Amino acid sequence: MLDRFTWFRQSAFLWRGDGVAVYIDPWGVTTDVPADVLFITHAHSDHFSPEDIEKVSKQGTRIVAPADVARDLSGDVTVAKPGDSIDVGGIKAQAVPAYNIVEERRDFHPPSNNWVGYILTLGTNTYYHAGDTDHVPELSSIRADVAFLPIGGHYTMEPPEAAGLAKAIGPRIAVPMHYGFVVGSPADAERFAKEADPVSVQILEPTNPFERE
């Protein structure tokens, strides 16, 4: 279920299907594979990188993004807000809420921004990319084969919080992200895996070297 994914760093991924390439929050892209569809979760610079978007865009690239990001983009752009069902370039997605509720994090990702995560149907499986979020009530009802969850703390969930969300969702595989670069360390992934038991956790290796140990 993960063999078609490349993790660049933070929350940046590429999925390569049969004749289609889908990027999520491209940042630190280390490939020249052109994007057919590109999903952005929110406006922070480690998720919305115009330089990386330009690098992977081609004629006909379709972009899905929240309203404040979409305003800064040109081309074929679809605005996404929580609750939206989206079908772009043959890729089906559901936009879900992504925001903070923990007091010391509330100002980083307020619900009023309408930032999002995405449940993507890619091939025969469903993948939940959480963006930057806490374990907010709306997310416990998500069902997906794979859940990519931020674990680095400070701006998003700490490993035990992310593990709690993983258990609520019950994916076949949970994948930690958003650690080892701006916040968190590789050790957090091991902690997440332990805390998430009995959910199966797969730890990916980024194409960029970790910046925090």
Task: Check the CA dihedral 122-127-113-182 and report its sign.
Answer: negative
Are 207 and 7 contacting, i.e. CB atoms less than 8 angstroms apart? yes
Helix (H, G, I), strand (E, B) or coil at 193: helix
CATH number of the domain located at residue range(s) 5-196 in this protein: 3.60.15.10
- Closest-CA residue to 9 (of 210, 158, 167, 173): 210
- Closest-CA residue to 181 (of 43, 47, 19, 5): 47
Our CA angle for 153, 156, 162, nearest 5°, is 80
What torsion do the CA atoms of 180, 125, 78, 7 make, to the nearest 10 degrees? Answer: 20
Distance CA 63, CA 52 (A): 13
Per-residue pLDDT 10s for the chain (213 aa) are: 999 999 999 999 999 999 999 999 999 999 999 999 999 999 999 999 999 999 999 999 999 999 999 999 999 999 999 999 999 999 999 999 999 999 999 999 999 999 999 999 999 999 999 999 999 999 999 999 999 999 999 999 999 999 999 999 999 999 999 999 999 999 999 999 999 999 999 999 999 999 998
